[in-house]
Each structure stands twice: as structure tokens, then as C-alpha cells.
Copies of this chain bind each other. A is one copy, B any other.
Amino acid sequence: MKLSDIAKALRAELVGDGAIDIRRVVHPDDARDAGDLALALSKEARSATGGQRAGAVLLPADAPPPEDGRGVLLYKGNERVALAVLTALFDPGPQREAGIHATAVVAPDAALGAGVAVGPHAVVGRGAALGEGTSVMANAVIGAGAVVGRGCLIHPGAVIGERVRLGDRVIVHANAVVGADGFSFIPVRLPDGSPGAEGKPARIHSLGTVVVGDDVEIGAATTIDRATIRATRIGNGTKIDNQVQIGHNTIVGEACLICGQAGIAGSVTLGDRVIIAAGSGLSDHVRVGDDAVVMAMSGVPGVVPAGETYAGIPSVPLHVWRERYLYLGRLKALNQRVEALTARLAALEKSAKDG
């Protein structure tokens, strides 16, 4: 790709030869030759010395450009936005061959769109449908009756359960499971101590499914359970990290970010653009409003109102959490102060009595 085209995509100012052919974007220390564009937006990267080998360099707009004849892109925006643009330009995607691999097992009645790729040992069940351009990689399993949209990428070992529906351009990472049964049992002894199911926990079966919108990403080893009788839903554009658990009947809105190892129980409702930071847990029936944020490693037992940021176990508004944490750190001083007050009061009492 020509350096001038990259400049255009980044809306960066081009200094030098725009005809340079760029084949990789690299950290300056990893630069090998003139086909490399060295990313030097951060101070750390600019102090790296390897960048001289690169054919071009990306610098902040206010940095002094090198005068050694290399191509230079001067960029005013946010570094992460630049990374989004550049990595999208240079991502070749995983290696996949069009067509059905000889070892794949595809049910005769499965409906396959144009350009579908099914990798070695992948399995596509009866009545399943794969949209145009979708890839199912090695050892992945698409259950009977599942519907996968167009342009999806199902990584190795992922399991899409029976009757699950995925929208278009969905990415499911390796060993994720979409459509496991919900964990729904009546215990032998109820939480209030009264007897529940007899002998062993009574199972509520999962007859429902999972419906995933367009442009959703589901992380490696993430698990999403099917609903009891309706559908667990993930809205358009929502991105889910690795090892996230999403329980049965839960409804996740659009454009949410759910970070690694977060756990969302059953019958939870998340609004749109919600951010659930890593390691957090949401109890059954929790409701989180649009644009709300749950900080990392928090435990949410109830409602998080729209636009609010919550933290802590159990979670409270962030400013409340901060205040509590501040006073917690001053507990020793408070104890010492009460100690001193006690002594002063005793002295006063004594003098009053003596006086």
C-alpha cells in the first residue's frame, strides 16, 4: 500500500515520497526494511533507535520530522484511532481456503452461501445455514438448525449451539461456546433453609436459544447460555472479551463492551453502550442503563442507572465508593483521635470532679 494512501486514510500530513510501498506497520525496534512504516506516536517509541531501518515513520504533528529522506506522516489525532485505521488496513485475516475442506462434515441439507469456507474437521449440522463469505475454521462446530450470517468468522474449536442465530460480520474466537444450556436448578434446600427439590437439584431445561446481532465479537473461551423458552440476546456492535460468561435469558444492548472474565448472570438487562470492565459480576435480574459503566472487579446486585459509573462489591456510585475508600484509609487515624479525645475527656471529668 502506498504511503500516500495511508496518509489519506489517517488524514495525516505526508512529508516526502508518497509512492513508497508499505507492507507492514511496526514498532521502530522491529523495523527491517523500506517496506516498514514505523509507528512513533508515543515518546517511548520515538526514543527507540531501530526506526532508521523503516522506509517511513508516523510521528505526532508537533514532532520534529527526521531529515533523512524517509517518508514521514505527521498525525494530529489520537494514537488509538491511528492504530484502528492502520491495523485494519494491514490485517490479512486468518488463512483460510475457500470451499469445504475434504475432512469437514457438512450436513447435506445445510444451506451454504457463496464463498463460504469450512475448514478441516469442522462440523456443520443438519439444517444449519452459513451466509455468504462466512468462514468456519478448523474443528469448529455449527449445531443443527443454527443460522450464521454473512461475512462471519468462526475460529477453531468454537461451538455454535443448535438453533443459535448469529448476525452478519460476527467474529467468534477460538473455543467460545454460544448456546450452552442455562444453569437453572431448584436446589435441594432453598436459600431460606426450607426444603426444595427432592434428592437432587431439579433441572429447568433450556428450550430457548441465543440471538446475536451484527458486528458482534465474542472472545475466546467465552460462554453464552441459551434462554429457558425465549432467547438470550446480544445487540448489534457489542464486543465481548475472552472468558466472559453470559447467563440465560439475559439481554445485552448495542455497542456494549464487556471485558475479560466478566460474569453476567441470568435475566440481566444491559442497555446500549454499556461498559462492563474486567472481572465484574452482575447478579440475576440486574438492570444496567444506557451508557453506564461498571468498574473492574465490581459486584452489581441491583440497578445501575443510565450514564452512571458504579464500583465496589457490592457496587455503589463511583463517588460514593471513592469516599468510603478514603475514610477506610483513615480508620487508624480516626481510632487514634478517639483515643486522644477519651483521654482529654477523662482529664476534664477528673478536674470537674476534683474542682
Chain A positions 157-194 with a Cβ under 8 Å from a chain B Cβ? 157, 159, 161-162, 171, 173-175, 177, 180-181, 183-189, 191, 193
A265 beta carbon closer than 8 Å to chain B = yes
A19 beta carbon closer than 8 Å to chain B = no
Q: Which of A8-16, A63-71, A77-85, A110-118 is the contact stretch? A: A77-85
Chain A positions 126-166 with a Cβ under 8 Å from a chain B Cβ? 126, 137-139, 141, 143-145, 155-157, 159, 161-162
- How many of chain A's residues touch chain B, expressed as a range? 35 or more
A123 beta carbon closer than 8 Å to chain B = yes
Copies in the complex: 3
Partner among B138, B159, B259, B313 whose Cβ is within 8 Å of the Cβ of A183: B259
A61 beta carbon closer than 8 Å to chain B = no
Contacts of A269 in B (CB 8 A): none
Contacting pair B162 A159 (CB below 8 A): no
Contacting pair A327 B331 (CB below 8 A): yes
Min distance, Cβ A278 to any Cβ of chain B, angstroms: 6
A6 beta carbon closer than 8 Å to chain B = no
Report how far A164 CA is from B90 CA in the complex, Å.
Answer: 18
CB nearest to A202 among chain B residues: B84
Partner among B30, B141, B201, B283 whose Cβ is within 8 Å of the Cβ of A139: B141
A242 beta carbon closer than 8 Å to chain B = yes
Contacting pair A263 B261 (CB below 8 A): yes
Contacting pair A223 B223 (CB below 8 A): no
Contacts of A229 in B (CB 8 A): 25-27, 30, 39, 87
Contacting pair B348 A352 (CB below 8 A): yes
Min distance, Cβ A265 to any Cβ of chain B, angstroms: 6
Contacts of A126 in B (CB 8 A): 95
Contacting pair B223 A243 (CB below 8 A): yes
CB nearest to A312 among chain B residues: B313
Report how far A355 CA is from B187 CA in the complex, Å.
Answer: 68
List of 7 A-B pairs having minimum Cβ-Cβ separation, nearest first: A200-B237, A87-B205, A327-B331, A180-B220, A183-B241, A91-B205, A105-B120
18 contacts between A and B (CB under 8 A): A30-B229, A78-B186, A84-B205, A90-B207, A95-B143, A105-B138, A161-B174, A180-B242, A183-B242, A183-B260, A220-B225, A225-B242, A243-B243, A279-B281, A296-B299, A324-B329, A328-B328, A352-B352
